[in-house]
Chain A
Amino acid sequence: QSVLTQPPSVSAAPGQKVTISCSGDSSNMRGNYVTWYQQLPGTAPKLLIYDNNKRPPGIPDRFSVSKSGTSVTLDITGLQTGDEADYYCGIWDSSLSGNWVFGGGTKLTVL
């Protein structure tokens, strides 16, 4: 089964910028159609960002993504304490079997 790799944890101070990487291989990055989910403590995951930096209503533009090869990076600028959460990347493998692949998640700590 395909795997997406994320760092287990990242941290930064309020107001700073943090990046979270999501790396796969050419077989699972499918045109880099990676989506990102935010899971605040004790809550369900929610869609954070998809497509070319499209965000659902209520998600600020402090959240953005960039792509390089088989890696996609989530950038969060102007960190706020409310951004402290787990972040997951995921991709739908639309090949014959169909399969969602998620990264292991990254815990963001705002110092």
Chain B
Amino acid sequence: QLQLQESGPGLVSSSETLSLTCTVSGDSISSVSYYWGWIRQPPGKGLEWIGNVYSSGSTYYNPSLKSRVTLSLDTSRNQFSLKLWSVTAADTAVYYCASQRLGSWDELDHWGQGTLVTVSS
């Protein structure tokens, strides 16, 4: 059973860099069957996709965030990471990591529990 767990600071200062890590257990992030992704949810609002990273290192980013986001893999630790540069209060959200199983539907089949990141001024 695939499990994902987010970790990282819960408070980030405005204009600084938000850094989160997702630790995967139950499968290897080198698996060709998955994309590994990040989704966020501002308080009281809906879901916003941030980006995906594949085992090859290929990445897809939300166009609205692309200039500020970097996703990467650490295969030795079975982790993938998110960096979001130059954060503002609008980046305050619960950040989820998720696995996207590749196929026809490409469903997000497993999610982490989420971690709240607050951007302070």
Interface of A toward B, CB cutoff 8 Å: 1, 31, 33, 35, 37, 43-47, 50-51, 56, 88, 90, 92, 94, 97-105
Q: B47, A50: Cβ atoms under 8 Å?
A: no
Pick the contact of A44: B37, B60, B104, B111 (CB < 8 A): B111
Interface size on B, residues (CB 8 A): 24
Contact partner of B60 (CB less than 8 A), chosen from A51, A56, A98, is A98
> Closest CB of chain B to A92's CB: distance in Å?
4
Among residues of A, the one whose C-beta sits closest to the C-beta of B112 is A44
Please measure, in the bound complex, the distance between the C-alpha atom of A33 and the C-alpha atom of B104, giving whole angstroms: 7
CB of B49 within 8 A of chain A? Answer: yes
B51 to chain A, nearest CB (A): 9
Judge whether B106 and A94 touch: CB under 8 Å.
Answer: yes
B residues less than 8 Å from A104 (CB atoms): 46
If A33-B105, A44-B112 touch, does A98 touch B52 (CB 8 Å cutoff)? yes
Which residues of the other chain, B, contact A37 by a CB distance below 8 angstroms?
47, 108
* A47 and B96 within 8 A (CB): no
- Assembly CA distance A64 to B38 (angstroms): 27
